[in-house]
Amino acid sequence: MPDPSENGFSAAIKALNEVVAPAVDRSNPLAVEQLRLVSMFLEFYLSQRDLSRKLDWTELNLNVELGHAVCACFHSTDPMIKNLNRMLLLASRDLKITGSPASKWRDHTSNILGSVSQLLRSCAYQNFELFETLSSKVLEKSGEILALKRSWFLPLGFEAKPDALPSLNQWFERCPDI
């Protein structure tokens, strides 16, 4: 069954580039620039729309790993990590549910990040040695999460060395059928 949005996106891009763009007043650089950006965004979403669930799943999966690495810095019964442990449990469960809404995965990611941030702030004031240990873990684990996002946004052209990043296919190799 063909995806109707594919034709819709393609037709919109074609109309913008072939009909609208030539009609735009070239002496209006704001309009010329914004038209180009609209067209670029449409191309970006057209090329990656089927992968957005995989992005959300992979991002959550990496953040669950980050969360576990943070928890490992504490004693398992430490009350400070009770909230994060609970979030990790819920997130891990939802990662395994086929057809789970991507918005749910994004919410889990946001909650885990918020909880890790809260732990960092608390430790900075209460136990600086622990803060340093946590920071090292977060810095180490954040590298992979940032690389994922940079691969995702690669077509938008902000990378000085685009070839140095893994492709989206490489990222999503370990992603199950979701």
Partner 1 sequence: MTSFLPSSVTSDGVVDRDKPSPDFIEVMRSQYPTEKEIDWAFTRRMHRRANGPFKMQSIDDLVGYINAMLKSKLRYAYEVSNASWLGGGGSKLQMKFTLATEQPLKGHFQRDLVLRMEPAESLNPSSRLREGEIIDALAKVIPVPEMYWVDRDGEWFPEPALIYSFSSGIAKPTNFSNQRVTGLGINFGPKARRTLGSQFIECLAKVHNFDHSRCDLTSFDRPNLRSTESAMWQLNRALRGWEEDRAHDIPLLDIARIWLTRHLPELDHASLIHGDYRSGNFLFDPGTEKITAILDWERCTIGDRHRDLAWATSEAIGHYDESGNDLLICGFFPLEEFIDEYERVSSLKVDLGKLHFYTILSRFQQAVTVLGTSYRVVRLKKSHQDILLSRIEAAAYVLLEELRLALAGVVSSKKPILQGAHHA
Which of the 8 DSSP states describes residue 78?
Answer: -
The residue among 140 and 173 lying less far from partner 1, judged by its C-beta, is 140
- Residue 83 touching partner 1 (CB under 8 A): no
Quote the CA–CA distance of 58 and 162 in Å, as a whole number. 20
Q: Which range in 8-16, 28-36, 51-59, 166-174 contacts partner 1 by CB under 8 A?
A: 28-36
Question: What are the φ and ψ backbone dihedral angles of 86, each rounded to 5 degrees?
Answer: -65, -40
* Residue in 14, 93, 97, 114 binding partner 1, rule: CB under 8 A: 114
In three-state form (DSSP H/G/I as H, E/B as E, the rest C), the secondary structure along 111-128 is HHHHHHHHHHHHHHHHCH
Q: Which range in 48-56, 71-79, 88-96, 115-123 contacts partner 1 by CB under 8 A?
A: 115-123
Site map for partner 1, 117-146, x if CB under 8 A?
xx-xxx-x------xxx-xx-xxx-xx--x
Place of tokens 């430790």: 123
Closest listed residue to residue 60, CA positions, set 68, 71, 48: 68
CB of 1 to partner 1, least distance (A): 31
Q: How many CB atoms lie within 10 A of CB 81?
A: 20
- Residue 102 touching partner 1 (CB under 8 A): no
Cβ density class 33-67: b for 16+ within 10 Å, e for less: eebeeebeebbeebebeebebbbbbbbbbbbbebb
Q: Could you say which residues in the range 144-173 bind partner 1, by CB under 8 A? A: 146-147, 149-150, 153, 156-161
Q: Which residues of the shown chain bind partner 1 in the complex (CB under 8 A)?
A: 27-34, 37-38, 40-41, 66, 110, 113-114, 116-118, 120-122, 124, 131-133, 135-136, 138-140, 142-143, 146-147, 149-150, 153, 156-161
